[in-house]
Amino acid sequence: MTHHVPEGLPGELKHYIGGELVDSVSGKTFDVLDPVSNTPYGTAAAGRAEDVDRAVAAARQAFTGGPWPRMPPRARARVLNKIADAVEAQDKRLAELETFDTGLPITQALGQAQRAAENFRFFADLVVAQADDTYQVPGRQVNYVHRKPVGVAGLITPWNTPFMLESWKLAPALASGCTVVLKPAEFTPLSAGLWAGIFADAGLPDGVFNLVNGFGEEAGDALVKHPAVPLISFTGETTTGQTIYRNCAAHLKGMSMELGGKSPAIVFADADLDAALDSTLFGVFSLNGERCTAGSRILVERPVYDEFCARYAARAADIVVGDPHDPATEVGALVHPEHYEKVMRYVEIGKSEGRLLAGGGRPAGLDTGNYVAPTVFADVPPTARIFQEEIFGPVVALTPFDTEAEALALANDVKYGLAAYLWTSNLERAHTFAQTVEAGMVWLNSHNVRDLRTPFGGVKASGLGHEGGYRSLDFYTHQQAIHVSLGPVHTARFGTARKGQS
């Protein structure tokens, strides 16, 4: 198989601090691999506490002394729209780099670039249109809410759709007037390096955006623990989220966390099976299965279970696995050899926990690279590890149910609660079930299509807080209550009772 390598790849990826590309203070770097050849294509600066200190100092200076937090919303929105224009103008280049670095199929990477541009447009509109509350006590008082940016925001992003998820945090943070330090995932730092040029060309003042590459245990840890960073927004794995939660406690930091998932797709016998098949196949095998909202547990009502399993497995076996840069590819290469080994361990575990219907190993003819054939297990009991644990790859568990109550119990019988997908033509059941399933987001007769105005977040082990729309602006701003008197204020006059006594 040919291996596409984009032209003009940077040999080294530096930090971006105070408007300058810089090396680590220590001079240390780490190799970055592409997931098709699993060989290094370059190095990235390995950030540590001293590099984070420099980035936070630059961000703090830009916040306290720079123009960005004090600009009118419309002025910030103009910059955000220029950023969106630039992202759209180079979407093909972005997608090419993202596909090379992550192994995502090129057609799906292109969609991520377009979504990233829309995030900046959306928050540009929102910050201009935003209104805050005013309360009047006629003739006596006016109370109003003054919204102001919190300060330096620490943004820690994952490797599955890096550029898009960076935009998801950067856009509302910048729209709110915060300055930021971004720590991108060490597996996929390539596209993050594009932000520096995009932001500078759009007129973002130096120091407003800073980037520190490095490992989570070093650069990420230092950012979370830094006393001058009052906010941490993190997307990633639940165990890491728990560590960040503990480390934020010392400074009582604001946290927004979007963590893991093991989301159920519940298919009732009265569902449109063709549509349910299309959606549940896409829901777990798009983005190589490396998505937090993947419908990786499919619960199917008994009367249609055998038919659904047979048709699902046949479709899964025909999914095109191959070169991520080929537009015909539906599943590409997993992001990194470490992650590939983790997914393959779960595939082997699954062979003793369920009935293998498709996949189960490396696809024929793909002897190198992190390729896993789309893998389907049926008859998976709720006690199985592949039912309970997040795999984050192209692996799905199918489980039958007999009653609506059993379906709900199975859906809720994991520690996660990010998304749920429900397929039924019974309107009453759809709403009742949706409202009782333990998930932050539910899609009825649909896969993951989300309006940016709606809240995104999970319950249980899937996260803390919500992003999306005004909820994102709420996170990056303080809402300060200011009370103004309009006339004489009656106050009890302490200390006057003895006046006039002998």
**Token pair for residue 205?**
């003042």
Residue 258 a catalytic site member: yes
Select from 145, 172, 150 the least CA-distant residue to 252: 150
Select from 160, 198, 195, 161 the least CA-distant residue to 181: 195
Q: Is 394 helix (H, G, I), strand (E, B) or coil?
A: coil
**Token pair for residue 431?**
């709403």
Q: CA 366 to CA 372: how far, in whole Å?
A: 9
Indicate which residue of 178, 248, 292, 309 is catalytic: 292
CA 21 → CA 16, 28, 83, 285, 305, distances in Å?
Answer: 4, 15, 19, 37, 56
Indicate which residue of 96, 98, 218, 258 is catalytic: 258
Q: In what order do the strands lie in the sheet with 477-485?
A: 134-137, 141-149, 477-485
**Token pair for residue 337?**
């050899």
Select from 448, 56, 392, 428 the least CA-distant residue to 237: 392
Taking the CA of residue 96 as centre, how many other CA atoms within 13 Å lie in the half-sphere pointing to its CB?
A: 11
Q: Where does residue 131 fall: left (phi above 0), alpha (psi -120 to 50 degrees), or beta otherwise?
A: beta
CA 314 → CA 216, 331, 374, distances in Å?
Answer: 40, 16, 11
Residue 292 a catalytic site member: yes
DSSP calls for 344-389: HHHHHHHTTTSEEEE--SPPTT--SSS----EEEES--TTSHHHHS
**Token pair for residue 498?**
């003895």
Q: How many Cβ atoms sit within 10 Å of the Cβ of residue 311?
A: 16
Select from 199, 197, 195, 200 the least CA-distant residue to 183: 195
Tokens 């005004």, residue?
A: 470
Q: CA 163 to CA 195: how far, in whole Å?
A: 9
Alpha-helical (H) ranges within 130-237 are: 162-175, 194-202, 221-225
Q: In what order do the strands lie in the sheet with 419-423?
A: 355-358, 375-378, 395-401, 297-301, 264-267, 419-423, 441-444
Torsion sign over Cα 405, 390, 445, 123: positive
Q: Which residues of 405-414 are buried (b: 16+ CB within 10 A; e: fewer)?
A: eebbebbeeb
Catalytic residues: 258, 292
